[in-house]
Amino acid sequence: MLNKLNEFFSPLISPTNDAQRPEHTLQLATAVLMIEVMRADADSSETELATVMRILKQRFKLCDSEVQQLSALGQQTAQHATDLHQFTSLINRELSREEKGSIIEYMWQVAYADHHISAHENHLMRRMTDLLHISQADYIAAKMRAKQNMPG
């Protein structure tokens, strides 16, 4: 089933001249970026994965089975991706400054899920800020919102 989903998403990730936003590929790109934060932490936890799943469900209004499929495909895609450019370029092309700021906030929520920011997570977040063309002010604001909204 993952191969069928991957085949469906693969052509959509490449640049398109279509005026319609490729919602499914944006969902996958968002999932991959959050999963990359989770993978950056050597002590990746169930709490981080639960945070990814919660955000995907809320952000994209998905049912549990859709979230599980998107998460599984996101994990598989993140493992096989050679770089993050295909995902960040899609996001840059399709999303507004505010929407990209929300993605940075989601990524910070994943990083903060285990109440510890590793050096690798911090480095990845700074790199994502550059790749997504996020201003320093928006980066800090997203980080602070994520920290303030941490559960527990």
pLDDT for 149 equals: 83
* Confidence bin at 22 (pLDDT 50/70/90): confident
Which pairs with CB-CB distance under 8 Å and at least 24 residues apart come from 74-79? Answer: 74/28, 74/31, 74/32, 74/34, 74/35, 75/35, 76/2, 76/6, 77/6, 77/9, 77/28, 77/31, 77/32, 78/32, 78/35, 78/36, 78/39
pLDDT of 20 higher than 90: no
- The CATH class given to the 2-12+21-148 domain equals mainly alpha
pLDDT of 151 higher than 90: no
Q: What is the pLDDT of residues 51-65, one digit of tens each?
A: 999 999 999 999 999
Name the pTM for this structure: 0.84
- As a whole number, the mean pLDDT across the chain is 86
Span 9-14, average pLDDT:
44
Span 13-38, average pLDDT:
76
- List the domain boundaries for the chain: 2-12+21-148
| Chain-centroid distance, C-alpha 7 | 20
